């Protein structure tokens, strides 16, 4: 696991964003862990989150021309990421959408830079992939190209079928998917923390039930 990924897990635990216990996911599954990026809710946390996102994007090597954050959680994410990338020497335009179309002033439902070129979508955790589909439609309607999506966590569990939601997004829309951390990273981290190793068995049991099929990349 990359150092910044381990540091991000430390950071998520510090803010109680990552918790272990007994929870119910949006899909109604009983989960032994929970991740709520909405708890990165002060200035310092948001700044650090943007820096972690920037590290993951730069490490991925993905090529893009602009950033897009879907309303509502994607708005602060894309803003802090644009700042973090600029501080690292990479200045990108960014935009986000409104839920309701504005009929006065500049009008429309896109705020910020015009959608043009290759667009990287920035979100927190994708559950059903609906917001991604809406973002892809908006971007293509502007004659731009959605080239990827960046999220904080890949839960690596089944979506609508045997593959994960992020794998389904990759297959359905033909775009790259980047995650800051995966469930594999969380399990690897737990093995380094004697005070947290007791949670590993419950996670492995959960994965046996809901873990996604690994796509065949041979040939």
Active-site annotation holder among 99, 102, 158, 213 = 102
Q: In the annotation, is 158 catalytic?
A: no
Tokens found for residue 219:
């040939």
Pairing type for strands 18-24 and 118-122 reads unpaired
SS3 content of the chain, % helix, strand, coil (to 5): 40, 25, 35
Residue 18 has phi, psi (to 5 degrees) of -105, 120
Q: In the annotation, is 199 catalytic?
A: no
* 143 neighbors 171 (Cβ within 8 angstroms): no
- Locate the DSSP E strands across 36-87: 66-69
Residue in the block written with tokens 């045997």: 162
Give which of 75, 161, 172 is closest to 132, Cα–Cα.
172
Task: Work out the number of other CB atoms within 10 angstroms of the CB of residue 80.
Answer: 24
Residue 72 has phi, psi (to 5 degrees) of -105, -35
Residue in the block written with tokens 């293509």: 140
Active-site annotation holder among 47, 104, 158, 191 = 104
Q: Catalytic residues, which ones?
A: 102, 104
């Amino acid at each position: 696991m990359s150092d910044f990924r381990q540091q991000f897990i430390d950071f998520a635990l510090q803010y109680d964003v990552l918790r272990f216990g007994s929870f119910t996911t949006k899909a109604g599954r009983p989960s032994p862990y929970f991740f709520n990026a909405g708890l990165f809710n002060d200035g310092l946390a948001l700044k650090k989150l943007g820096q972690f996102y920037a590290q993951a994007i730069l490490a991925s090597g993905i090529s893009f021309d602009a950033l897009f954050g879907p309303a509502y959680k994607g708005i602060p994410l894309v803003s802090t990421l644009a700042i973090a990338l600029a501080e690292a020497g990479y200045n990108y335009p960014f935009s986000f959408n409104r839920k309701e179309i504005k009929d006065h002033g500049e009008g429309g439902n896109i705020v910020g830079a015009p959608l043009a070129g290759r667009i990287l979508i920035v979100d927190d955790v994708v559950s059903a992939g609906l917001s991604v589909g809406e973002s892809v439609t908006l971007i293509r309607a502007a004659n731009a190209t959605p080239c990827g999506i960046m999220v904080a966590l890949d839960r690596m569990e089944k979506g609508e079928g045997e593959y994960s939601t992020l794998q389904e997004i990759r297959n359905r829309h033909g775009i790259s998917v980047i995650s800051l951390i995966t469930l594999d990273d969380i399990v690897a981290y737990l093995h380094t923390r004697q005070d947290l190793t007791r949670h590993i068995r419950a996670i492995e049991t959960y994965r046996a039930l809901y873990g996604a099929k690994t796509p065949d990349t041979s040939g």
